[in-house]
Amino acid sequence: MNETIDLMLSHSSVRRFTEEAISEEHLQAIISAGRAASTWKNFQSYSIIVVRSNEKKEALHALTPQPAILQADTILLFVGDHYRASKAAELHQSDFDAKGPENLLISSVDAALAGQNSLLAAESLGYGGVFIGMIRHVACEVAALFKLPDYTYPIFCIALGKPNQHFPVKPRLPHDAIVFQEEYKEQGLETVLAYDQIQSDYAGARQKETWSERLVAQFGQAEQESTKTLLKEKHLL
């Protein structure tokens, strides 16, 4: 259709990287593109911490042992951030209360939009990357490592670098299973079974569990407590 849409449709997560560095010019362009994303009321309720030192990568990897963290040239840590809003309240000598799901959604959506923009920009420049949300399982430790103040919390990071692997694009759910006209359309087990087969055909020998089994592993148990604990500590819940 056009170059932008073709880039979006060719997306595949990259977890292995060469030793080639991302130039400072390219990194700034990637971050600028991320910051250009849509944002609720222009609040820009997120911050980005750029991690390039081996020391910090190793410390983060010790908390979240994902190989991509050590291999990547750059880690971009996206932080939900209402700290600046607290300063606005201080400026105007106003009460401030950032607790609750609505404010968490505002900052999380803002960060996600900026993150997606950043990854697309990186891919347009020949780099690749992967979102790492597992940092939320050690949210308290990550917050301490990066000295996050009150009213902030880690949401995800993106590992970026020059790709050293190329996988085919992972098939998405069929259009009719996820796009509805005018109102929600409930579906039966056949939708899940059909997509399990699509994913199995794609993964082949690499598959260790079906798509539906991974859903059950995620949602069939109590949620991780670390993020909830941190949000309470940071006066966001």
Q: What is the pLDDT of residues 118-175, one digit of tens each?
A: 999 999 999 999 999 999 999 999 999 999 999 999 999 999 999 998 888 999 999 9
Q: Kindly report the CATH number assigned to the domain that includes residue 36.
A: 3.40.109.10
Residue with tokens 């050590």: 70
pLDDT band at 207 (very low <50, low <70, confident <90, very high): confident
Percent of the chain with pLDDT over 70: 100
CA–CA separation, 126 and 119 (whole Å): 11
Domain-located, residue 218: no
Domain-located, residue 109: yes
Domain-located, residue 195: no
Tell me whether residue 74 is exposed, middle or buried, using C-beta atoms within 10 angstroms of its C-beta: 0 to 12, 13 to 18, 19 or more: buried
Kindly state the DSSP code that residue 205 receives in the 8-state scheme.
G
Dihedral (C-alpha) 56, 60, 61, 63: value to the nearest 10 degrees?
150
Structural domain count, the chain: 1
Domain-located, residue 23: yes
Domain-located, residue 205: no
Domain-located, residue 129: yes
- Could you tell me the CA-to-CA distances from 218 to 40, 214, 215, 224 in Å, in that order? 29, 6, 5, 10
Domain-located, residue 43: yes
Q: Could you tell me the pTM of the whole model?
A: 0.95
| Residue 125, domain extent | 3-170+224-233
Domain-located, residue 40: yes
What pLDDT, in 10s, does the model give residues 47-87? Answer: 999 999 999 999 999 999 999 999 999 999 999 999 999 99
Q: What is the mean pLDDT of residues 79-98?
A: 97
CA–CA separation, 64 and 73 (whole Å): 17
**pLDDT, position 205:** 81
SS (H, E, C) 98-161: CCCHHHHHHHHHHHHHHHHHHHHHHHHCCCEEEEECHHHHHHHHHHHHCCCCCCEEEEEEEEEE
Q: What is the mean pLDDT of residues 102-107?
A: 98
CA–CA separation, 171 and 177 (whole Å): 13
What Rg, from alpha-carbon coordinates, does the chain have?
Answer: 19
CA–CA separation, 73 and 207 (whole Å): 28
**pLDDT, position 31:** 98
Residue 223 in this model has a pLDDT that exceeds 90: no
